[in-house]
Amino acid sequence: MKNWVILAALALAFAPLPLAGSNYLLRLATTVLMYVVLAQSWNFIGGLAGYPSFATAAFFGLGAYASAVSLAHGISFPLAWTGAGLAATAFAALIGGAILHLRGHYFAIASLIVAEMLREVINGMPDLTGGGKGMNLPILQMSVAAESRFFFYAMLALAVICIATAIVVHGNKLGFGLRCIQQNEDAASMLGVNAYAYKTAGFALSALYVGIAGAIYASWVKYIEPPDVFDVMLTIKPIVMVLLGGIGTLFGPALGAVILLAFEELVSRNFLTIHAAALGLIIVALILFLPSGLLSTLHSWFPRKDPVT
Amino acid sequence: MIYFQIFANGLVLGGLYACIAVGFSLVWGVLNVINILHGSFIVLGSYVAFFCYVHLGIHPFISTVIAGAFLYALGYLLQAGIINRVVSAPVLMTLTLTFGLDLILNNGMLLAFTADYQTVNLAKPLGTVQLGPVFLPGDRLAAMVLALLLTLILYRLLRDSRIGRAIVAVRMDREAASLMGVDVPGINAVTFAIGAFMAGAAGALLSIIFPISPLNGPLFLGKAFVVCVLGGLGSVPGAMLGGLVLGVIESFSSFWFGPDRAVTISFALLLVLLFVRPGGLMGRRGYE
């Protein structure tokens, strides 16, 4: 119950943001919400099941291109966005079936290669996707201000749905099974957890909202090209955000997304040429000094009296 | 007869790939760390060779040792100072850590050397060598022979030297090695440094063939991944075989399908191989 209250409070805190009237702020907030979705989604497979997936960019790019191609063929927005999410989910289930029997490093590399492969495939289909030239997306028939509000609320809705899903999953059988796999996969499958089915479900779930986020992003920026939507940073940053906020926790990913993006914004506004190195420094400091993330560290400073559910 | 030529080109390329991958494979096998820095190490080695040639007139073949030694020192410091602290943490932690270090190193190189492509133009190239129906550029052939020689030296080092046996022992069983009196953190640092040495040396050899830029780091890293998985983890002969196989495959696929497709095909091959034989072609854990 407490988690639902926190989620509602967060949503209400974000909702009146367009009233501030700053387009810069609105754009930044939309980006933050997008990364909240990415980080929260990664947490399903990386945090709960403990499988180091590096496939976020693959799902994001696939969603972006799936919706761009559907929109180019005259399919309406809601349908194209949903379709993008379903396409990413189906792809993840398919790929997951093939690579989830790998563990550790091998899984990490296989998932990383999936994004590279997909980028090459889309590059090699210029008739459908424009290849390396990229794709233009249809422009919405509304004013600029209304449009930026529209995309902000679309991302906000997606982020809220994503966190709500996380709350449900953390409490249900799927979340329990995934946590068992993380702790000891062999023991879990011996005790009757169908590890393969659970992992595949977790992996597919980690793709669903990322695919939709990619679709919304594509319509938002109106021009996509393979190096942009398959950028390896789209894979790395959500992982860093989850590690920063607290791996496997409910609100850690969202917290990490806000903090990391705020910091990045400060650095790239002031020192553009070293912003990659600054991100690198954050990562190194994070791994060395705060390996279990902010939320867990806070909890260990202020131990809770009531038993943890 | 064109096929002989393509095959020979592939072998020459493959010898260099083996040299790129062997250090990466060693670090992965012994430390259980995927070293994302490896690509940038190679580029840094190329820059050392480039500056030695331009400013001091030292031939890249000789500066192989200089670049290697420079990277050895850098690698030792990084491992002993930073990576050793989390070396036994889960994959995600070590991989993300080396990714962060790579962002710093690569950004540093971009600032110091810019993203412009540099090339080493040898004043006295070795000309062309003819072997039966096959023509090969002498410099490339020499670079490949040197690369294979370095790999062979590493192989003998692991087999015959005291420290080499200690490295193999740590790979086989970290705890047991520690109980037998092996200084595991020290061996970790030396192993990482040797991996960096091989990267630097490979970079120096590559400097006469490929243009040099920090942007090439991920490209070399990708090759190292593929060779490593092809040949099986942490074994020197495996990396050698994997490198040669990849070189030949790339050479033929760029002849048949065009050079753009060569990378896609090698990645597709990697995914298939991971699916059917995750241990690699010569997969056998532990021994040399």
Which DSSP string do the residues of B125-189 spell out, in sequence order?
---EEEETTEEEEHHHHHHHHHHHHHHHHHHHHHHHSHHHHHHHHHHH-HHHHHHTT--HHHHHH
- From B96's Cα to the closest Cα of chain A, the distance in A is 7
Mutant choice from A113, A273, A282 vs B, greatest count of B C-beta within 10 A: A113
Q: Which residues of B are less than 8 Å from A99 in CB distance? A: 271, 274-275
State which H helix or E strand residue B271 sits in.
helix B259-276
- From B91's Cα to the closest Cα of chain A, the distance in A is 6
Least confident of A245-254, B8-17, B225-234: B225-234
Mean pLDDT, range B52-73, rounded to an integer: 90
**pLDDT on residue A274:** 82
B267–A287 C-beta distance less than 8 A: no
Mean pLDDT, range A66-82, rounded to an integer: 89
CA distances from B183 to A243, B72, B90, B149, B167 (A): 31, 19, 21, 29, 10
Question: In this model, does residue B286 exceed pLDDT 50?
Answer: no
Mean pLDDT, range A145-155, rounded to an integer: 89
| Per-residue model confidence as pLDDT tens digits over A168-221 | 998 898 888 988 888 888 888 888 888 889 999 999 999 999 999 999 999 999
Mean pLDDT, range A147-153, rounded to an integer: 89
**pLDDT on residue B203:** 93
**pLDDT on residue A162:** 94
Question: In this model, does residue A306 exceed pLDDT 60?
Answer: no
Rg (C-alpha) for chain A, rounded Å, is 19
Nearest CA in chain B to A293: B93
Q: Which residues of B are less than 8 Å from A100 in CB distance? A: none
Nearest CA in chain A to B107: A277
- Bridge-based pairing of strands A135-136 and A223-224 is antiparallel
- Residue A116 sits at the chain B interface (C-beta within 8 Å): yes
A108–B95 C-beta distance less than 8 A: yes
A274–B275 C-beta distance less than 8 A: no
Structure tokens at B67: 């670049």
B264–A117 C-beta distance less than 8 A: yes
Reported pTM: 0.85
Nearest CA in chain A to B279: A106
Which of the four pLDDT bands, split at 50, 70 and 90, describes residue A33?
Answer: very high
Rounded to two decimals, the ipTM of the complex is 0.80
**pLDDT on residue B180:** 87
